[in-house]
Structures are given as structure tokens and as C-alpha cells.
Amino acid sequence: MLKFLGSAVGIIFIIGLLVVIGLLALIF
């Protein structure tokens, strides 16, 4: 359960990071 929660948080963090980088690339 804890392992699954950790992996889910990691995946969400990576996706969020990619979205932020994509938005910055579009703006600049």
C-alpha cells in the first residue's frame, strides 16, 4: 500500500514537472 502510494506520488510529480516545463517552453 505504502509502496503504491509512493509510486503514485512520484508519477504525479514527474507529470507535473513536465507540464510546468512545457508551459515555460511555450511562454518563452
> What's the pLDDT at 28?
82
The amino acid at 26: L
The C-alpha cell that represents 2 in the structure block: 505504502
Convert the pLDDT of each residue in 1-28 to its tens digit: 788 888 999 999 999 999 999 999 998 8
> What's the pLDDT at 14?
98
